[in-house]
Structure 1
Amino acid sequence: MTIRALVWNENVHETTQPAIREIYPDGIHGAIAQGLGELLGDEVSVRTATLADPEHGLAEEALAATDVLLWWGHVAHEDVSDEAVARVQRHVLGGMGLIVLHSGHFAKVFTRLLGATCSLAWRNDGERELVWTTAPGHPIAEGVEHPIVIDRQEMYGEHFDIPNPDDQVFISSFEGGEVFRSGVTFTRGRGRIFYFSPGDQEYPVYFHPQVRRVLANAVRWAAPVSAERRAPEVSNPARREWV
């Protein structure tokens, strides 16, 4: 069955900063979508949406037609309507996969699903990042180099205020000595969530072949196992006698 992926990007930097548009002429969403298409081929159908789209491209019909939602945001988290956030949250609880990228750690839907501030340490000096695999048997790490070497990237460091993840797939180290849990998974309701930190807008990280491999693997992993979209519900079964 074809995985229906929707790449969502606030698309503010690319439309307001020529230097960022030069790095990502088709937007960050365009670069991510291109990578998924190249690596997954007919396994996936990829659509994109941005903050400026009607209902942010996150209308009920769009989410109902999405198996995995990839999310990139940075400076416009508060501009995403609470109604759209509630829809996304409901669909994740019902089984839609969610992949949150880089500064999307502060996205309203991510902090609500995790019930945490998701705050962290950061420094943008263009340092080298090494992304080390800590769970080599995890499907998201399949075929990924150990480590992934990203020549220039914004530093994210601990403490990262998140709940204990289901799995820690990657940990990153930086030239300044910091480490960061850069690839972690969660389950909320019936939905699978993956957070992956590499991807600052000032660097061409989403063209990196190994980063693209991680995202392709994550789309496969996060895709729902059932076509039914329904959150877990309360039940009140009749009493049965067991002998």
Structure 2
Amino acid sequence: MARPAQEQLSLLRSLIDARSFDEATLRILRSFLVSKDVESSMQVRYSFTEFLRSQSISVIRSIASKTVLEKLYILDFFVRAFAIVGDVESCLALRYEALLMRNLKSASYQWLHVSSVEWLNFVEDALHSGFHSIAEKACQHALLSIRKNDVLEPGLDGVPENAGAIRTMTRLRNCAMTSIASRSVQAQAAEYLTRKSSEQGKSKIICEEKQCLASTSFRNGIKRQNMRKLQEKRSPLQINDE
């Protein structure tokens, strides 16, 4: 029998509190997401996504004093956990943090060096998922890293060994920047149309109010004119009666 969602979350929390960042915990998470009911499955995934987001923030804050290797191990656990629940944004964000950490520490620990292939895979995944801003930032870091290594280790023919990677990364960066600019233009256009629609709505209300006032004034004017005519007709009659 399937465990209730709250019981599942409680079990997962106890595993994370116990720092069980291993494959066994990920298998348990996968088993919790098995459901024949699509609507129920979506609700469970949402609950686990929110839970993992809060837990990841708490855990990452608590490991500031850990070694680089321990930090990367925990980041990898949450990357895989977010991938299981389908939270692409959080998955990419933590992958990016792990790459930045390795890139920063690689000056002291060469084995942490981020290869051009790893940068390329990440950028392509980010672009494919629609996260153009993070893809553009990753391209910038990748280009700096690749060019730095080219200066240190040129190819045998004098041409940088990663020249092809630089061209590819530059193309992807330009693609990301174009998409960001396009989205910005679309957002501005949407904002303009919304504002224009609001202004037109206000103008319509004012126009209707003016038309209403004009119509009321016209009717009142007709009434006053009719009253004057009636008074004019009654006056001779009153004189004759006297």
Same fold by TM-score, threshold 0.5 exceeded?
no
User: Shorter-chain TM-score: which interval?
Assistant: under 0.3
If each structure's strand is expressed as a fraction of its own residues, which one has the higher value? 1
TM-score, normalisation: structure 1:
0.23
TM-score, normalisation: structure 2:
0.23
- Structure with larger RCO (C-alpha < 8 A, sep 6+): 1
Larger-gyration structure (1/2): 2
If each structure's helix is expressed as a fraction of its own residues, which one has the higher value? 2
